């Protein structure tokens, strides 16, 4: 009998074409898929029709299935020798609590494997033609959570974060973007520094805007964006229009000429 195994799989930011080949193989062989809210329905469809699908989705500030129960569920499922895919948005080890689940599996001696996924930062930036690093504009990139456990204060090294040469990508930052932008400016970043805001990036519902650090909180609040939002703060955000592929630019010129 095949031994059960858990695959902690990154589903990427939404577009099914951004799944890795390995993630697709895991899904096609799954007996059970335990998935998060941010995993798109098109990706779930890739699992066999007979595979069980269990949603343990979490909404911001709302945890329908506590993490401890998810951990126990994975251990229980694998003990019945099933191939369990634990499917998470983006990459399982970037703000995905995949490491907590992996620790629990290791503690119980459960065989598991991590299948990385394209994280929201890479997927959303690429979809907007924005590089996360660029010679002369950004020598590095940092991924930052904009939301701390149980709404704790954002107790970060603001001096270290306020580096104009580093692209700062903020996940889960919508509720706190006013505070984050304010602290970054108070610690030296220019209010004119460009910010790319992406909502539902890489999906058919994707929306984006480019603004500045001083205006980002107001512009996002006025945007009507609904869905997960990512902030890319730094000079690279100004390349969103510069790097637009020429066929897209041509389409826009034609569309505006036609009125
Ligand atoms: C709990 S974190 C999970 C991150 C995920 N593990 C990853 O690697 O992308 C959820 C946050 O990721 C960001 N996010 C995930 N998918 C996104 C998308 N398609 N568009 C914009 N932001 C996204 C948002 O900031 C959202 O609040």
Q: What is the tens place of the pLDDT at every residue in 203-252?
A: 999 999 999 999 999 999 999 999 999 999 999 999 997 766 666 656 66
Per-residue b/e over 123-136, b at no fewer than 16 CB within 10 Å? bbbbbbebebebee
Would you call 172 a catalytic residue per the annotation? yes
Q: What pLDDT, in 10s, does the model give residues 19-68?
A: 999 999 999 999 999 999 889 899 999 999 999 999 998 665 565 688 88
Q: Which of 130, 134, 77, 64 has its CA nearest to residue 104?
A: 77
Residue-level pLDDT at 149: 76
DSSP letter at 182 equals H
**Average pLDDT of the chain?**
91
Closest ligand 1 atom number to CA of residue 92: 6
pLDDT band at 194 (very low <50, low <70, confident <90, very high): very high
**Which SS3 state, helix, strand or coil, does residue 10 take?**
strand
Q: Quote the percentage of the chain above a pLDDT of 90.
A: 78
Q: How many whole angstroms from 8 Cα to the centroid of ligand 1?
A: 16
Q: How many helices (H) does the chain have, and how many strands (E)?
A: 10, 10
Nearest to 211 by CA among 199, 227, 202: 199
Look up the pTM and report it: 0.91
Catalytic option among 15, 36, 91, 163: 36
How high is the pLDDT of residue 153? 81
231 CA distance to ligand 1 middle (Å): 10
The CB of 116 under 6 Å from ligand 1? The reply is no
- How far apart are the CA of 188 and the centre of ligand 1, in A? 27
């Amino acid at each position: 009998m095949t031994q059960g195994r858990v695959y902690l799989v990154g589903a990427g930011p939404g577009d099914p074409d951004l799944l890795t080949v390995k993630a697709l193989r895991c899904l096609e062989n799954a007996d059970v898929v335990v998935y998060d809210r941010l995993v798109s329905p098109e990706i779930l469809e890739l699992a066999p029709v007979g595979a069980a699908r269990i949603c343990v989705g979490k909404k911001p500030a709302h945890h329908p299935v506590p993490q401890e129960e998810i951990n126990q569920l994975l251990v229980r499922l694998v003990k019945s020798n099933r191939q369990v895919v634990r499917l998470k948005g983006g990459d399982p080890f970037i703000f995905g609590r995949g490491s907590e689940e992996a620790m629990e599996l290791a503690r119980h001696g459960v065989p598991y494997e991590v299948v990385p996924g394209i994280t929201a930062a890479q997927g959303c930036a690429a979809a907007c033609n924005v590089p996360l690093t660029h010679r002369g504009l950004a020598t590095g990139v940092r991924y930052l959570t904009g939301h701390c456990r149980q709404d704790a204060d954002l107790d970060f090294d603001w001096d270290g974060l306020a580096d104009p040469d580093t692209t700062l990508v903020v996940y889960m930052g919508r509720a706190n973007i006013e505070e984050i932008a304010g602290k970054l400016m108070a610690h030296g970043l220019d209010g004119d520094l460009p910010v790319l805001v992406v909502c539902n990036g890489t999906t058919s519902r994707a929306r984006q805007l480019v603004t500045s650090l001083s205006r980002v909180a107001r512009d996002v609040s006025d945007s009507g964006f609904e869905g997960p939002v990512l902030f890319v703060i730094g000079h690279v955000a100004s390349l969103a229009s510069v790097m637009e592929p020429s066929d897209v630019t041509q389409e826009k010129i034609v569309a505006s000429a036609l009125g």
